Amino acid sequence: MSAGCAVIIGAGVIGAWSAYFLERAGWKVTVLDQGGFGKGCSHGNCGYVSPSHVLPIPGPKAVGTAIRALLQRNGPFKIRFRFDPALWRWMALFLRRCNYRDMLRAGHALHPLLQSSRSLYEQVIGKEKLDCEWQARGLILVFRTKAGMEEYAETNHLLAEEYGVPAKRLDGDELSAFEPALKPGLGGGWFYDIDAHLRPDRFMAEMRRLLAERGVTILEGQTFREFRRKGPQAEAVVTERGELTGDVFVVATGAWTPRFSKQLGCTIPIEPGKGYSITMGKPAHCPRVPLIFEEHRVAVTPLDSGYRLGSTMEFAGYDSTLRRDRLELLKAGAAIYLHEPVGEPVLEEWFGWRPMTPDGVPIIGRSPAMGNVFIAAGHNMIGLATGSGTGRLVAELVSGQPPHLDPHPYRPERFT
């Protein structure tokens, strides 16, 4: 298709990367958002660009892990059970995928997207000189117990054999020697040297600057309501402020996307998976490398300009309360592992709605209802890490160019 006007709905990391690659492919691009650019889930996440995160949540151990976490009084995983057919349907689809075969299949869908994204971040951040605290220092999965360490040895073997993503084993004192911010006496850790991280809010601010410099129009505070259609094509997006015409449209509305299922002509089983973060000043004894405390589900991001604790997963619909007990859980978890778990001052307390699909794989492709509308949503816990590959794939599909990776696993109609 020859390049004309492209309208992107949603200015998160997925919308921003789609805008970048569409503009480079010659499209005249407009991005619109109901709020501010980059202020959704892409704002306060942990910033990991982590090709190591190959395995999706649904897997053979997921149900047992979830039940154990649900039984904890203030565990990292929560479901607010309620009468909501969409949630029950989502859970049924999720449970169906909690087996070894579907987990491996989802891993094979995520692996190329993660790999492509990791190298695109490095290239584009360097080429465009994006000032976003990019660090390629790797990431350690830390275990408090030796049993946890041994259990992960099986996963490490699987990741190495099936996807070529091995970790370096760090036992006992090797771990605290490698990362002195950790307390001695922990079970050990697995180090992924391929992983990198950045500061997400800085990255989104830099993407906004870059896109504006390249002539992309950015419209904030404009809520998309529906498409104006002509037969099997969309002609315009309708917002409460009027209409915006275009030749092609990309729906990159993250956790909000199921609201448009009917118009898009397919079931979009995405549930908001609420997570929290606290951004602080750097503690004196700050970790050098990002850390995930697997048994307590707390993630630590050392930034040039600060320090962030993040995680927890709550299925509570579109609940927008910032719960203090969830924030405290992050600090309490970090205190088990770190000499100095918190820094001063607290700069931001935040939550975001991860767009969770029941198979752990994003939804990327053409809408079955309208030939010139594309969907790019449902990036789960790895939307930053898979954002650049997604944006490039979107631009290729929209422009009719050969895709750099097989789009079949991400097809929108797979749940219908």
Interaction site with ligand FAD (CB under 6 A): 9-15, 32-35, 39-42, 45-48, 223-224, 252-256, 275-277, 310-311, 352, 354-355, 377, 379-385
Task: Indicate the residue among 115 and 311 with the shorter CB distance to ligand FAD.
Answer: 311
Q: How far is the CB of 218 from ligand FAD (least distance, A)?
A: 12
Nearest residue (CB) to ligand FAD, 9 versus 176: 9
- The CB density around residue 336, as the number of other CB atoms within 10 Å, is 15
Query: Smallest distance from the beta carbon of 24 to ligand FAD, in angstroms?
Result: 19
Q: Which is nearer to ligand FAD, 156 or 257 (CB)?
A: 257
Cα 199 to Cα 348: distance, rounded to the nearest angstrom? 13
Contact criterion met (CB below 8 Å) for 362 and 376: yes
The minimum distance between CB 97 and ligand FAD, in angstroms, equals 18
Q: Is the dihedral of CA 98, 102, 103, 107 positive or negative?
A: negative
Query: How far apart are CB 80 and ligand FAD at their closest, in Å?
Result: 16
In the numeric block, the tokens 């154990």 are attached to: 68
In the complex with ligand FAD, which residue's Cβ is closer, 12 or 187? Answer: 12
CA neighbor of 115 nearest in space, from 395, 396, 386: 386
Query: Are the C-beta atoms of 372 and 380 separated by less than 8 Å?
Result: no
Query: What are 333-337's contacts with CB under 8 Å, separation 24+?
Result: 333/76, 333/293, 333/296, 333/297, 333/298, 334/293, 334/298, 334/300, 334/309, 336/144, 336/293, 336/296, 337/142, 337/144, 337/182, 337/183, 337/186, 337/291, 337/293, 337/296, 337/298
**Min. distance of Cβ 206 from ligand FAD in angstroms?**
15
Nearer to ligand FAD, 130 or 187 (CB): 130
| Min CB(47)–ligand FAD separation in Å | 5
CB of 400 to ligand FAD, least distance (A): 24
What is d(CA 89, CA 185) in angstroms, rounded to the nearest whole number?
44
Of 316 and 384, which has the nearer Cβ to ligand FAD?
A: 384
Minimum Å gap between C-beta 312 and ligand FAD is 7
Pick 151 or 240: Cβ nearer ligand FAD: 240
Least Å from the CB of residue 384 to ligand FAD: 3
Tell me the two tokens of residue 366.
């053409």
Taking the CA atoms of 16, 22, 25 and 29 in sequence, report the sign of the dihedral they define.
negative
Q: Convert 183-204 to b/e letters by CB count within 10 Å (16 or more is b).
A: eeebbbbbbbebbbbbbbbbbb
* C-beta closer to ligand FAD: residue 187 or 197: 197
Nearer to ligand FAD, 46 or 268 (CB): 46
